[in-house]
Every structure is written in structure tokens, then in C-alpha cells.
Chain A
């Protein structure tokens, strides 16, 4: 069964450094997402991406964050200058169906295994 993959599984970086988190969404999916989960807290939406551009972003997703789909398979999240508070698990997710109409099971977002980012 196809699945979302993420690399690396764990990234340790120094404060102020740039990091790039990588994701390969499920191949026939159209919508891509990044979420963040600070340790012990709930999962929070960061950004959604469709048709090669950001379609929605949260207030967390400030100028230090950017996303890119550099080719037909990868989807990346870049943090330009990491802060201690960026330490979290970062999840990539994807879904297939286009928006509109009644909700359907194909609206389901499938998550990758996550990248645990530790900023020292």
C-alpha cells in the first residue's frame, strides 16, 4: 500500500541554522500539508500546498518557513534560521480528492512517520 515517507527521521541542529525536511507524498495525491507537534501537545496545522503554490498557512508559518515541490515527487519544508521553540515533530501529509462537494472518505489525509527536529 502506498505511503507517505519522510526524511530524516531525526534532525539535530544548532539554533540559527537552516534545516530542510523532506517528504515524498503518495503519488496520485494532489494536496500536501505540513503539521507540527510539540512534545506532549496536539498536532497543529502549518501549511497546505496545491497546484504548486501555498493554498493556506497558519500564523505559525512565518517568514522563517517555506515550502517547495522541487520535482514531481518531493515536498520540502525549510526553516531558515531555527529557534529553540521550533523543536517538534514535523509531519507531512497528503490527500487525493479535490475540494468541493460533500465530504468523502477520500478526503482523508495520510501522514508520514514524521521528522523529529531538535534545536540546541
Chain B
């Protein structure tokens, strides 16, 4: 079973509008962290935002916010006021805790969503 599922291979949004990128995860570990990374066409992986499983509030980081619904095991990324420079691949990733084997917090990635911002 996939640990991270991103069901939207591609998304389009108009400049200045908000967009939500979906991510669901699967773990039985109560201690985990969720991350979103941006990968522009140049290839680098840029960290955007983090949400811990015990965090009471949704994470926010500038124009990025994370809609964390723990019971549904979803961690959707919301980008407000989209800009042309937001066009990129977006990856959701999870790190599980020691209960899931190993304490090294390796990341498991989803397949990504390609976001295109139209002018």
C-alpha cells in the first residue's frame, strides 16, 4: 500500500488565485511528520512547510498553509495568491517515528503534483 498518495498528477490555477494540492497518508505510528517540497524545472528540492502529528494548529508559512485533517489522514497544501513562479512539481512526504522501524526518519515521498500557474 502507498504510504503517501497524491491523486492529482497535474493542476492548473490562474495567477492570484488559491490552489489546494491533495495529500493523504497511511501510517499506524502516532508520531510522524509531514512535509511539502517544491521541485521547479531546474530540479532542486525546496522545503516549503512542515506539520507534526501532535501539532494542534495547521502549519502556515507565508503563502503556504497546510490543511491537516488527522482523522482523515490528509495533509493538503494550500497556496494562496498563486504566482507564475509557483509553477513546479510539488511533493508530499512523511517521516515516521521510531515505532515504525528505524530511528532515522527517512522520508517517504508521494508521486507529486505538477502545478501550472496561468497568467
Q: Which of A44, A50, A111, A116 contacts B104 (CB 8 A)?
A: A50
Q: Is the CB of B95 within 8 A of A107?
A: yes
Besides A91-B45, A100-B103, 9 other CB < 8 A contacts? A44-B109, A99-B98, A99-B105, A102-B52, A102-B54, A103-B97, A110-B47, A112-B44, A114-B43
Q: Name B's A-contacting residues (CB within 8 A).
A: 31-33, 35, 37, 42-47, 50, 52-54, 91, 93, 95, 97-98, 102-112
Q: Is the CB of B104 within 8 A of A31?
A: yes
Q: Is the CB of A102 within 8 A of B31?
A: yes
Complexed CA–CA distance, A114 and B102 (Å): 25
Answer whether residue A43 sits at the interface, using C-beta atoms and an 8 A cutoff. yes
Q: Name A's B-contacting residues (CB within 8 A).
A: 31, 33, 35, 41-45, 48, 50, 55-56, 89, 91, 93, 95, 99-100, 102-105, 107-114, 116
**Known contacts A50-B104, A100-B103, A103-B97: does B54 contact A43 (CB below 8 Å)?**
no
Kindly list chain A residues whose C-beta atoms are within 8 Å of the C-beta of B105: 31, 48, 95, 99, 107, 109
Kindly list chain B residues whose C-beta atoms are within 8 Å of the C-beta of A31: 104-105
